[in-house]
Amino acid sequence: MDNISALIEKQREYFNSGATRSVDFRKEQLSQLARAVENNEDKVFDALKADLSKSQYESYLTEIGILLDDIKYVIKHIDQWAKSKKVRTPLMHSPASSWIHPEPLGVSLIIAPWNYPFLLALSPLVGSIAAGNCAIIKPSEFSKHTSRLLADIVRNEFDEEYLAVVEGASEASQALLKEKFDIIFFTGSVQVGKIVMTAAAQHLTPIILELGGKSPSIVDSETDVSLSAKRVASGKFINAGQTCIAPDYVLVQKDIKDEFVAEFGKQLKLFYGENPQDHTDYPRIINDKHFNRLVELLNRGRILHGGQVDLADRYIAPTLLDGVTWEDPVMQEEIFGPILPLIEYEDISQVITWINSRPKPLALYLFTTNEKVQKKVLEEISYGGGCINDTLIHLATPYLPFGGVGNSGMGNYHGKASFDAFSHYKSVMKKTFLLDNPFRYPPFEGKLKWVRKFLK
C-alpha cells in the first residue's frame, strides 16, 4: 500500500529531525496520552462492551487502570532512565572514561490483539514514547469498535508523523510487515508470531513477541483449597478466559481433588450466580469462529461445572472439565476461552516432568504453603512469569518485567522494561590526547609480558 509507505517515510523524517529525543517532549506526550485515555473513558467502556461484553469494572481494572498506572510510573522515572550511565574503564585503556547511552530506535510498529484491545495497543506505545520513538499501531480487526476508537483518539491527539493507527484486516498487517521498521512489537498467537518473525528477518528488524501457550496452575495438597479454587477461577474466567496468561489447565494433587472441585463450583456461583449468562460481569466470546473452535473442545472429557453454550449470544459458561488426557485436543492447543481442564497428580516431580516435556508456558501459577515445593518448581520449570498462591497479578505491576520464553515469546516490557525494549544502549569510550599507551602499537617485540600483566 503506497499510503503505508508514505506514512512510514513521514514518520522517519520526523524522527530524524530529532523532535522526539527531548525527555521533556516524551513526558508531555505521555501526559497527553493519559489525558486522552481519561477523557475518553466512557467511549472505551462502550467499545469494550460492544466487542467483548465487558463490564465497566472489568474494563477499567484490566485495560484502563493498569495503563494509567504504567504511564504515571514511567513519567516519574524517565529522567533517570534516559541519562547516560558511567561505567568503569579497564586499567589498560586508561586514561579514559566509559559510559552507556540509551537512544531511541526510530519508527516502531505495534501489532495489537483483540482480547485486551485497548490495553495491549497502548501499553507497548508507552514504552515507544518513553524511549523517544515514532510509532504505528495496528489494532485487531476482530475488536472493531475498539479499533475505531483507538484510531479516533490517536488521530485527534497526535500528528500522524509522530503516532498513527492503521486499521484493516490481514491485508493491512501484511502490507505493514513488508516495510522496514526499527522495531516490531507483536502480541498474539504463536502461529502469527512466526509470520511476524519471518517478515522481520527480511529487514533484520528487532522484535518483541508476546505470545501465549498452555499456562498451568498447580494446586498442592498443602494449600488453602477454598482460596486457591477462588483465585484459579477468577484468573481463568476474567474476560471469559480470553487472556494470554489465564490458567489454561489445572493440576490438582489427588488427595484434595474432590474438595477443590466442590470449592470451585461454590466460587462460580458466588461470582456469577446460578446462570452466568444473565450476569452483567461475564463477558462473551469475540466471534463465531472462536466460539465454534471452543465448543469443539468440549467433546472430550466429563463436565463437572458449566458446559452450557449459546451461539446466538456467543456465550460459553465457565466450565471445569475432568477426565481429559494429554492427547485430547483441549490439551494440545491454547484454549483461550472459559474451559478449564483438570488433571490430578500424585507427586510434584510428576508435574515437573509433564510441564517440562511441553513448550515453555507464558505463565505458571503454584498454590502451596510448602516452601520446598515452591523452590523446586521455581528452579526446575522454565516459564515467562507467574505467581505463587495467586493468578494474573504479576502482569499488573510496573516493577516486574513481563514476557515469555521459548514458544511463549521473547523480550519483556512494563515499566523500565518497556523503556529498554524500545531503546538501543550505545556504548562509548572517550580517550584523551594527553597520554598515549605505546604498548598498543607495533612493533610488538618485547611487549607481550607487559600486556599479560595488564590483562591478568
CA trace torsion 236, 239, 240, 242 (10° rounding): -80
Question: Is residue 453 pLDDT above 90, yes or no?
Answer: no
Question: Is residue 191 pLDDT above 60, yes or no?
Answer: yes
Pairing of strands 385-388, 183-187: unpaired
Question: Is residue 224 pLDDT above 90, yes or no?
Answer: yes
pLDDT-derived band at 2, boundaries 50, 70, 90: low
SS3 405: coil
Q: Which amino acid is at 61?
A: L
For the chain, the average pLDDT equals 96
Domains parsed from the chain with CATH numbers: 2-211+406-427 (3.40.605.10), 216-395 (3.40.309.10)
pLDDT of residue 261: 97
User: What is the number of other CB atoms lying within 10 angstroms of the CB of residue 370?
Assistant: 14
Contact 159, 61 (CB under 8 A): no
Kindly list the catalytic residues: 210, 244
pLDDT of residue 436: 85
Count Cα neighbours of 66 within 13 Å in the Cβ-side half-sphere.
Answer: 24
Q: Please write the tens of the pLDDT for every residue from 254-304.
A: 999 999 999 999 999 999 999 999 999 999 999 999 999 999 999 989 999
Question: What pTM was estimated for this model as a whole?
Answer: 0.94
SS3 434: coil
Nearest of 225, 297, 215, 214 to residue 254 by alpha carbon:
225
pLDDT-derived band at 181, boundaries 50, 70, 90: very high
Q: Please write the tens of the pLDDT for every residue from 331-377.
A: 999 999 999 999 999 999 999 999 999 999 999 999 999 999 999 99
| Residue 445 or 287, more confident | 287
Average pLDDT over residues 146-166: 97
DSSP for 109-135, written as a single string = EEE--SSSTTHHHHHHHHHHHHHT-EE
Question: Is residue 110 pLDDT above 90, yes or no?
Answer: yes
pLDDT of residue 195: 96
